[in-house]
Chains A and B, each alone.
Chain A
C-alpha cells in the first residue's frame, strides 16, 4: 500500500502542475482506451474482414494452387527452424553462448514467450477469423516443422562438415527459398499475387536483392579510384533526392520507354526493381557509415598480416562494418516493408492497403462506412511485422554489443 502511494507520488503527483498533467492526460488516455475498446468489441462490424480475409491475405490467388502456398510456408518454417538450430550450435561451439544457457530453463521459456507472443497472437487472431480448416492445418504443420527443424539443427551443426561438404550444406540451405519461389511462381504469375502475401514478398525480394548492390555502392563511394567514386556518388545522391512514390509512378508509366518492348516486365516485377534500386542507395549510405566506424588499426593489422586488399575488406573490415550498422539496416528494411504499401497507390498492385480500401465498396459492404475496420486490420498486420522486426533488431544489437565489449 505504502509502495503504491510512494509510486503515485513519485510518478503522478510530484507537483501541482504534475497533478494537472496526470489528470488531463489521464482523461485523454482513458478516453482513447475507451473508444478503442468500444470500437473493437462493440461498434466494429468485423464481418467485412471475416468475409474478405482470403482477399486480404493472398489476394486473388487461384484456388487450384493455394496448396503451393501452404507447402511453401511449412517448408520455410522448417528451414528457418533448422537454420536457427544450426546457428545456435555454432555459437555454442564458438563459446559465444555458455552451455548452461542451452538447457531448458524457466528463463529461456519466458524469453522465447516474450519474443513470440505478439506474432503468435496475431496469427491466432487471423486463424480465428477463417471459416475453413485449411489455414489451421497449415499453421500447425508449420509450427511442427519449425520445431523439428530446431531440434535437428544442432545435430547438423555439430557434424564435422569442413571443406566441400560444408559448402554443399550452405548451398543447399541457400537454395531452398529459391526453389520454393519457383515452385509457386511457376504455377501462378506475379500478376495474380496479392494481399498481405504480396507485401511480404515484395519486401523480402527487394531486401535480398538490394543488399549486395548497396554494399557494392558503399565500397565504390569509399574507393580511392576517383571515377568509380564519382559514378557511385552520383547514383546514390540522385536516387536519395527523388521520392520513392514518383519513382514508382515513373516505372509504371515510363519504364516501357527505356527497355525494348519485348522485355516489358510485369507490374510486380517493376515494383521489385524500383524498391531494390531505391533501397540500395540508402543501404549504401548506411554501410558507408559502418565502414567509417571501423578503426584504422584493424586495416593496418590486416595489412601487417599480409592479407590481400580483397581479403582485408572481406575478412576484416566488412564483417565489423556490417555488424556495427545492423540496427540502421533493419530500420531501413522496416521502412522498405512499410513502403510496399505505396505499390498500390502508385501502380495499382493488389496489396493489403488496396484490398482493404476496395472491399469496403463491393457488394454487401458498400456505403456502410466500414473503412475504419479494414484500415485497422491492415494497420494491425503492418504494425505487428514492423514492431516485431524492430524488437528483434534491438535484441540482436544487445547480443552483438556484449561480444564487442
Chain B
C-alpha cells in the first residue's frame, strides 16, 4: 500500500510531461515545415539568381494601369498603391450596393405579396448556387461585349449616361477628390451635431425629434455651401468621335467586377437579412400592429433595428468575402492589387516577395474590416441592452 502510494508515476504516463511533449512535437513539426519551405525558397532563389528582398519596389513598373495617369516609369511601389486604391474603390462601392440590394431582397422574401416573394426567392435560389467567376465572365463577355452597343450607336440615358461596350460614362465632378471627401466628412459632422441637438431638444420639450430629417438637411446644406465655395462643377459625358468626353468613364472591367460582386453578395446578404428578421420575436411585430403602426413604420422602427443587431456579424463576414473576392477582378483585367502584383511578376519582379506583399495587404484589410465590424457589433449590443 505505502509502496504503491510512494511509487512515482512513470514519465511516459505523467500528464504534465505528456502535455509538454505533445506541444513540443506540434511546434517542432510546424517549425520544421516552415523551415523546410523557407530553406527550399532560399536555395531555389539563389540557384535561379532571383532576389529575395524588397528592393524591386523602386524599379520602374513598366506597365500602364487602365484608367490611371500613372506613368510607366513610376516605381512599382506606386503602382501597388494605385492597385490598393482600386481594390478599395470596387470594395466600397460593392459593399454599399450589395447591402442595399440584399436588404431589399431579404425583406421582399418575407413579403405577403406572392409575386414579390416568388421573384425574390427565385433570385436568391438561382444566384446563390452559381459560382461568382461565372457572373464575372458573364458581366464582361456577355453583357458588356455582347449586349452593350458600339460607341457609334451608344445608348444615351437622358443625356446623363452613355453606355457602350467601351464602358459606361456618367457625370462626375471637376476638382479635388480629397477636398470632396473632406466636405463629406464635414457634412457628416454637422449632421451628427444637429441630430444630437434635436434629440436633446426633443427630450426636453417632447417634440418629435426628426433627427434624420434635420441631420440630412444639415448635411446637404454643408455640402452645397462647400461645393459652390470651392468652385466644384459637374461635367456630363458626350460622344466625341470614337470616345466619350467629360464625366467619368467606368471601365468595362470595373463594371463587370462590380456587377458580379453585387449580384452574388446581395443574394447572401438577402438570406442573412431574412434569417435575422425571422429571428426577431413575433411579439415585436404584433406589438407594432397593435400600436397601429403602418407596415413601413413597423419595419423601419421596430423590426429592422432589432434584425440588424442580429445580422451584423454574418453581414460583416460577407463584406470580408466581398473584399477578398474582388481579387477576381485580376482575371478580367481590373487593375486591383492582385493584377498589379501579377503584372509586375510578369515584368520580372520576384514572385514570392510580391505575392507576400499582396497577401499581407489583403490580410490587413480583412483585419481592419473585422475590427470595424466588431466595434459596430459591440456598440449595437450596448445601446440595445
A and B: bona fide binding partners: yes
Interface positions of A (Cβ within 8 A of B): 10-12, 14, 18, 21-22, 25-26, 28-29, 220, 225-228, 231, 238, 240-246, 249-250, 253-254, 256-261, 334, 338-342, 344-346, 353, 357, 360, 369, 371-372, 375, 378-379, 382-383, 386-387, 390
Decide if B359 touches A242 in the complex (CB within 8 Å). yes
Find the B residue at minimum CB distance from A260. B40
Binds A, one of B2-10, B72-80, B131-139: B131-139
B residues 338-358 in Cβ contact with A at 8 Å: 338, 341-342, 345, 351-352, 355, 358
Decide if B133 touches A341 in the complex (CB within 8 Å). yes
Find the A residue at minimum CB distance from B146. A369
Find the A residue at minimum CB distance from B27. A227
Find the A residue at minimum CB distance from B41. A257
Chain B residues, CB < 8 A from A254: 351-352, 355
A386 to B126, CA, bound (A): 10
A231-B30, A258-B41, A342-B133 given as contacts; is B19 within 8 A of A225 (CB)? yes
Q: Provide 26 A-B residue pairs closer than 8 Å at the C-beta atoms, listed in order of the A residue.
A: A18-B112, A21-B111, A29-B119, A231-B30, A243-B325, A243-B338, A244-B324, A250-B359, A253-B345, A257-B40, A257-B41, A257-B44, A257-B352, A258-B44, A259-B37, A339-B131, A341-B133, A346-B331, A353-B131, A353-B134, A371-B142, A371-B145, A372-B146, A379-B134, A383-B126, A383-B129
Give chain A nearest CB distance to B23 CB in angstroms.
Answer: 4
Known: A29-B119, A249-B342, A260-B40. 10 other contacts (CB 8 A): A14-B113, A18-B112, A227-B24, A227-B26, A228-B22, A258-B37, A338-B131, A342-B133, A344-B133, A345-B133
A18 to B137, CA, bound (A): 37
Find the B residue at minimum CB distance from A29. B119
A346 to B328, CA, bound (A): 9
Number of residue pairs across A and B with beta carbons under 8 Å?
A: 161
A26 to B341, CA, bound (A): 47
Give chain B nearest CB distance to A40 CB in angstroms.
Answer: 15
The 4 A-B pairs with the shortest beta carbon distances in the complex, nearest first, are A386-B129, A241-B363, A345-B331, A243-B324
Decide if B44 touches A261 in the complex (CB within 8 Å). yes
Decide if B134 touches A246 in the complex (CB within 8 Å). no
Chain B residues, CB < 8 A from A357: 137, 141
Dominant SS among interface residues on chain B? helix
Chain A residues, CB < 8 A from B225: none
Find the B residue at minimum CB distance from A373. B142
Chain A residues, CB < 8 A from B115: 12, 21-22, 25-26, 29
B contact residues, total (Cβ < 8 Å): 55
Decide if B40 touches A258 in the complex (CB within 8 Å). yes
Q: Mark B140-151, 1 if CB is under 8 A from A, else 0.
A: 011001100000
Cβ of B230 under 8 Å from chain A:
no
Give chain A nearest CB distance to B328 CB in angstroms.
Answer: 5
Cβ of B367 under 8 Å from chain A:
yes
Give chain A nearest CB distance to B101 CB in angstroms.
Answer: 15
A28 to B19, CA, bound (A): 65
Among B41, B44, B45, B137, contact of A353 (Cβ-Cβ < 8 Å) = B137
Chain B residues, CB < 8 A from A344: 133
Decide if B119 touches A245 in the complex (CB within 8 Å). no
A246-B327, A257-B44 given as contacts; is B22 within 8 A of A371 (CB)? no
Decide if A242 touches B324 in the complex (CB within 8 Å). yes
Give chain B nearest CB distance to A264 CB in angstroms.
Answer: 10
Chain A residues, CB < 8 A from B189: none
A238 to B138, CA, bound (A): 31
Chain A residues, CB < 8 A from B119: 25, 28-29
Decide if A243 touches B362 in the complex (CB within 8 Å). yes
B residues 104-123 in Cβ contact with A at 8 Å: 111-116, 118-119
A14 to B295, CA, bound (A): 12
Cβ of B86 under 8 Å from chain A:
no
Cβ of B208 under 8 Å from chain A:
no
Cβ of B130 under 8 Å from chain A:
yes
Cβ of B366 under 8 Å from chain A:
yes
Cβ of B125 under 8 Å from chain A:
yes
Among B125, B142, B328, B366, contact of A375 (Cβ-Cβ < 8 Å) = B142
Q: Which of B23, B41, B119 has the most CB of A within 10 A?
A: B23
Cβ of B88 under 8 Å from chain A:
no
Cβ of B330 under 8 Å from chain A:
yes
Decide if B362 touches A246 in the complex (CB within 8 Å). yes
Decide if A12 touches B131 in the complex (CB within 8 Å). no
Decide if B45 touches A257 in the complex (CB within 8 Å). yes
Decide if A353 touches B352 in the complex (CB within 8 Å). no
A88 to B111, CA, bound (A): 40
